Amino acid sequence: MTEIKRVGVLGCGLMGSGIAQVAATAGYDTVVRDVSKEIWDRARAGIEKSLAKLVEKGKLPAANREAALKRLSFTTATTDLKACDIVIEAVTEDLALKNALFQELDGLSGPATIFASNTSSLTIAAMAAATKRGDRFVGLHFFNPVPLMPLVEVVRTVTTSAETFRRAFAFARSLGKEPVAAKDNSGFIVNLLLVPYLLDAIRAVEHGVASVPDIDKAMQLGCGYPMGPLTLLDFVGLDTTYKIAEIMFAEYREQRYAPPPLLKRMVIAGLNGRKSGKGFYDYSADPPTLVDLGI
Ligand code: CAA
Ligand code: NAD
């Protein structure tokens, strides 16, 4: 089986840029596709900042940062990913969008190329079925922020071959990550448990249980979590969380996955969290201030 040398990444938002960063740092030539140069410029700036932090903290030699940046290239053309040995998709959480990209790439990629999705909530089978490489299709679910979070859930579908799963698992390890094997159920392991908790925190705001900062403080200081749930929602992105909740609710028909109305209102208003500048908190100030949601 071909050795993995060249990595393709579809999407360079929060997750795609982090995945591209760790792949390039681990020594892979990495090609990243997104829809515009403005988006890559933002992703490249974020990657440069993150690598600089890692160098500053003594976690990465300065020479490795330069080498990683040289291995990274950006494109708007899916064809530029055709020579990749593995392609990791990290575009918006939308099945039709993901499948259109996978179908386009399926006709271009070599027979040994592995396709992987970083989806939070879709089943991998729903994407694998749109291609002719169901045996070479896995889930590789990274965590935000990718350069710092050690876990990758490696997901085997009913059609993934044992060889593909083994290669994907070894690839995750080669990125310096700690892989775990997960079944192809919506939300895998972490989001099955994390998403109801995050949605419950929004329901707690809706019900006036406590203020936003006090809910965050309570979970940080009472449970030792690194971030409170509303800060974490801003960090993940409220738009992404809303899509995840819709998908998981459609899959399980369980109330705990239902998107709370406040989440929907905030997304409609463009309060998508840290990436849009405002969510539960306003990030234009340091430290961030509370957004008045009128509740
Ligand atoms: N790149 C490099 N370094 C970074 C960085 C980045 N992107 N972000 C932060 N850092 C560094 C900081 O410089 C800092 O370094 P020192 O400790 O040496 O000073 C260190 O990392 C810690 O950062 P901070 O002090 O700013 O903040 P922190 O102590 O709160 O740590 C955190 C940040 C690691 C993000 C931590 O808050 C955390 O673990 N939060 C929870 C994240 C989480 O739960 N992620 C999962 C989300 S769910 C998901 O991803 C799945 C899904 O499908 C939705
Ligand atoms: P994001 O909104 O930050 O980025 C999505 C990117 O996809 C954007 O840059 C957008 O321009 C790009 N995109 C849209 N259409 C495209 C196309 N046709 N071709 C190429 N790129 C296109 O979202 P994100 O948070 O990075 O999430 C991406 C994926 O990762 C989703 O499936 C999400 O569920 C999953 N995920 C998110 C998190 C998180 O904490 N945010 C964690 C793990 C997994």
Q: What pLDDT shows up at residue 133?
A: 98
Q: Is 284 a catalytic residue?
A: no
Within 10 angstroms of residue 36's Cβ, the number of other Cβ atoms is 9
**37: number of CA atoms within 13 Å, CB side?**
0
Q: What pLDDT shows up at residue 295?
A: 86
Domain boundaries, the chain: 6-183, 191-283
Catalytic residue among 120, 121, 186, 272: 120
Q: What pLDDT shows up at residue 1?
A: 59
Q: How far is the centre of ligand 1, averaged over its atoms, from the C-alpha of 146 (Å)?
A: 9
Which residue minimizes the CA distance to atom 18 of ligand 1?
57
**CA gap 224, 20 in Å, rounded:** 30
Ligand 2 — pocket residues by CB below 6 A?
10-16, 33-35, 39, 90-93, 97, 101, 118-120, 142, 144, 236-237, 240, 244, 275
Under CATH, to which class is 6-183 assigned?
alpha beta
Task: Tell whether pTM > 0.85.
Answer: yes
Sheet holding 137-142, edge to edge: 72-75, 29-33, 6-10, 86-89, 114-117, 137-142, 151-156, 178-183
Mutate to test the pocket of ligand 2, among 9, 12, 15 (most ligand atoms within 8 A of CB): 15
Q: How far is the centre of ligand 1, averaged over its atoms, from the C-alpha of 149 (Å)?
A: 7
- Evaluate whether 6-183 and 191-283 have a shared fold: no
* Regions of the chain where pLDDT drops below 70: 1-2
Helix pair 62-71, 37-56: axis angle to 10 deg: 160
Under CATH, to which class is 191-283 assigned?
mainly alpha
